[in-house]
Structure 1
């Protein structure tokens, strides 16, 4: 593993903790109830994707939450910048993680294959 990869992984780990902490500080219940599952920085660490737990939200609720998070993303980025002590914080992009749904669909398919 090269030095740049190690820095990126360290930044991802720190962002996951810092964003979760920052979300808990908001007064809005929809924002502070979000669970950060993962953070993924793109090469160069200019963009970071923050993956959130869906928690049985429907599509409209997810869009509402994502729009609220986009409005407060600059505040979260500023808090992360102070904690990371970097010259620039990655631009945060929030997404709901659908990995669990994909895994459960695959498990269902495998069960169907094993039966028939």
Structure 2
């Protein structure tokens, strides 16, 4: 179970990271949807999950590289917005849970169609 302070930090980062990304010049990451933030080791490390479903699999490493390069600017933005003394180190991960939930929904639709065609 996470502490309330850690949950609050994650929630705040969920708001601030997309704002910080929107100020950057790289089109690939400027409007990238952030789907989750998971803080580790207190506030020292944070895994930032993004929805990479608009990109092909071969493009994802480039997106992660761009996010990693922009990490310093994102940290500066977060620090200025919050007044924190220290900002977590960010690790960016493509969130595949959205893709899997979409394929599950597609599977349910297919089953429903099959049942209707059998009747």
Band the TM-score falls in, shorter-chain normalisation: 0.7 to 0.9
1:91 equivalenced with 2:81 (yes/no): no
User: How many Å apart are 1:37 and its aligned residue?
Assistant: 1.3
Structure number with bigger Rg: 2
Contact 2:38 2:46 in 1 (8 A): yes
- When the two structures are superposed, what TM-score results if normalisation uses the length of structure 2? 0.80
Q: What is the RMSD of the two structures over their aligned residues, measured on CA atoms?
A: 2.3
User: How many Å apart are 1:102 and its aligned residue?
Assistant: 2.9
Alpha-carbon distance between aligned partners in 2 of 1:45 and 1:59, rounded to the nearest angstrom: 30
Q: What are structure 2's unaligned runs of at least 5 residues?
A: none
Superposed CA offset, 1:43-91 (max 9, x none) = 4121111111123311221111110110110110111112222211010
Alpha-carbon distance between aligned partners in 1 of 2:53 and 2:21, rounded to the nearest angstrom: 16
Aligned residues: 112
What pairs up with 1:10-21 in 2 under 5 angstroms? 10-21=8-19
Query: Could you say which residue in structure 2 is the equivalent of 1:31?
Result: 29
